[in-house]
């Protein structure tokens, strides 16, 4: 199999993720698009590991580490999104334009 196949598909999937991160307003959809980008990188890691016949299996091990880091990232990201929702009542990334807490006196 030519190396170009996984490389090209990974690049296209990455571009789809880039579009999602830039075009979506809902914070959860932005997180989903970030996951698409991480997946594209993983395809590259595995394909190049197979191409180079790495004795240490560095590419595949790094892909596994990326999956773990993605799980940690989505856990923390969703905690932040839920905190944002509780504090402001919406999770549109376009509308988060103040840095202070929104309703200090109410609490």
Partner 1 sequence: MTAAEIVFTALGVVALGAGVCTVTTKQLVHAALWLVVSFGAVAGMYLVLTAEFVAWVQVLIYVGAIVVLLLFGIMLTRAPVGPSEGLNSRNRFAALLVAGSTAVVLVTLLWRGFRDARIELEPGGGSGDALGAAIFRQWVLPFEVLSVLLLAALVGAIVLSKSRADRGSRTPKEG
| 14 touching partner 1, by CB under 8 A | yes
What is the distance between the alpha carbons of residues 37 and 56, in angstroms, rounded to a whole number? 25
Can you read off the two tokens belonging to residue 92? 């549109």
Per CB under 8 A, 102 contacts partner 1 = no
Cα–Cα distance measured from residue 54 to residue 42, given in angstroms and rounded to the nearest whole number: 16
Largest pairwise CA distance in the chain? 63
Q: What's the closest the beta carbon of residue 16 comes to partner 1, in angstroms?
A: 4
Query: Restricting to residues 31-70, which ones interact with partner 1 according to CB under 8 A?
Result: 31-33, 35-36, 39, 42-43, 46-47, 49-51, 53, 56-57, 60-61, 63-65, 67-70
* The residue to which tokens 């970030």 are assigned: 34
In the three-class reduction of DSSP (H, G, I as helix; E, B as strand; rest coil), residue 92 is classed as strand
Q: Name the site residues for partner 1 (rule: CB under 8 A).
A: 1-9, 11-20, 22-26, 28-29, 31-33, 35-36, 39, 42-43, 46-47, 49-51, 53, 56-57, 60-61, 63-65, 67-76, 78-83, 85-86, 91-94, 107
């Amino acid at each position: 199999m030519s190396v170009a196949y996984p490389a090209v598909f990974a690049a296209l999937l990455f571009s789809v993720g880039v579009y999602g991160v830039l075009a979506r307003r809902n914070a959860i959809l932005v997180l989903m698009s970030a996951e698409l980008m991480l997946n594209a990188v993983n395809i590259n890691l595995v394909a190049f590991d197979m191409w180079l016949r790495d004795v240490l299996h560095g590419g595949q091990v790094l892909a596994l580490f990326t999956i773990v880091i993605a799980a940690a990232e989505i856990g923390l990201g969703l905690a932040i999104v839920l905190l944002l929702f509780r504090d402001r009542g919406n999770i549109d990334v376009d509308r988060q334009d103040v840095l202070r807490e929104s309703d200090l006196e109410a609490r």
